[in-house]
Amino acid sequence: MKWKKIIGVLGILALASFFLTACGSKSDSKSELKVGVMTLDDATKPVWDKVKENAAKKGVTIKFVQFSDYNQPNKALAAGDIDVNAYQTNVFLDDWNEKNKENLVSVGDTLISPIRLFSVTTSKGKAKYSDVKDLPDGAKIALDNDATNKSRALFVLQSAGLIELSTKEGELATTKDITKNSKNLDIKEVGAEQVAKVLQNGDVDAAVINNSYAQTSKIDYKTTLYKEDVSGEEAKDFINVIAAQSDWKKSEKADAIKTLVDVYQTDEIGKLISKSSNGVDQPIWKGAPDTTSDK
């Protein structure tokens, strides 16, 4: 009889321990966020380290999941392998949703990063060309083959006066939309991770490179031939955002996600974005500090 009582008590204690553990795990999971980002570099790591530090002060633990190409973070987010990601523009997100029949949403603006047309360098590491006018007839220009980034790059070439496009408002530009190409540019479309490489290898005369790849590839910004103008209304398409699943407000991670946005959108982080990127990136949320004079 005594043994039955002991076993019974042990059973009750084990059951209580199970529930306490389960509750504890659930509580911990609510305050932990897996954040998908591109490979952290000298420009982005200081920013995210500070965001992580400030989030921890508010009880949220951030774990970074790094990706090396643009195709994976949204797939991971849609599958629930990460809770949010922060690497893409509004237009990229919209295009990805449409192509993949998903409904990921923006939960907060982060920064805008004007892209540039870079010149190939000489054997001494100096820019071979100092102005777009210096590009020779038939010059080879590399750009990202992703639909949204390609469109953005083509508009950069148009703004630089190198080509003219017939693209209708609201549509993505393709090389088929080029109506004038006075320098007979030979436009090469390659994977995003390859654009900087073909420029550095001397395979092209110039390249339009997204800053995340330009920075990780150590592209010298002194070789810039043209910088994208992001002062117009259309620039909102190129604002980078933190993205989540469409029902994030109903999820157990809702409070943690709100905290992430709150600690990101501060003057401290805004100034750090500009400083760590040497003025390349600009904080863009409502009320963000003006750092345009930094570079």
Interior angle at CA 178, CA 175 and CA 181, nearest 5: 115
Which one is predicted more confidently, 26 or 140? 140
Neighbours of 147 (CB within 10 A): 16
pLDDT computed for residue 30 by the predictor: 85
31-113+241-294 and 116-228: identical CATH topology? yes
Residue extents of the structural domains in the chain: 1-30, 31-113+241-294, 116-228
pLDDT computed for residue 17 by the predictor: 44
For 247, residues 6+ apart whose C-beta sits below 8 A from its C-beta are none
| % of the chain residues with pLDDT over 70 | 89
In the predicted structure, residue 197 carries a pLDDT above the cut 90:
yes
> Is the CB of residue 140 less than 8 Å from the CB of residue 129?
no
pLDDT computed for residue 28 by the predictor: 52
- Calpha distance 204→199 (Å, rounded): 6
Mean pLDDT of 129-154: 96
pLDDT computed for residue 29 by the predictor: 80
In the predicted structure, residue 245 carries a pLDDT above the cut 70:
yes
In the predicted structure, residue 195 carries a pLDDT above the cut 90:
yes
Residue (of 207, 195, 196, 202) closest to 121 by Cα position = 202
Candidates 3.40.50.11540, 3.40.190.10, 3.40.640.10, 3.10.20.740; correct CATH number of 116-228? 3.40.190.10
- What the block records as the tokens of 293 is 């004079």
Strand partners, 61: 32
Give the confidence band of 1 by pLDDT, cuts at 50, 70, 90: very low
Output the CA torsion sign for 42, 66, 283, 62. Answer: negative
Mean pLDDT of 204-223: 94
CATH superfamily, region 31-113+241-294: Periplasmic binding protein-like II (3.40.190.10)
In the predicted structure, residue 242 carries a pLDDT above the cut 50:
yes
- Calpha distance 108→262 (Å, rounded): 9
Backbone angles phi, psi at 78, to 5 degrees: -65, -35
Give the confidence band of 27 by pLDDT, cuts at 50, 70, 90: very low
Residue (of 168, 144, 140, 165) closest to 155 by Cα position = 165
The secondary structure element, H or E, covering residue 89 is strand 84-89
Give the confidence band of 263 by pLDDT, cuts at 50, 70, 90: very high
Rg (CA), the chain: 24
**Averaged pLDDT of the chain:** 90
Mean pLDDT of 93-113: 97
| % of the chain residues with pLDDT over 90 | 81
Give residue-wise pLDDT tens across range 37-68: 999 999 999 999 999 999 999 999 999 999 98
Mean pLDDT of 198-221: 95
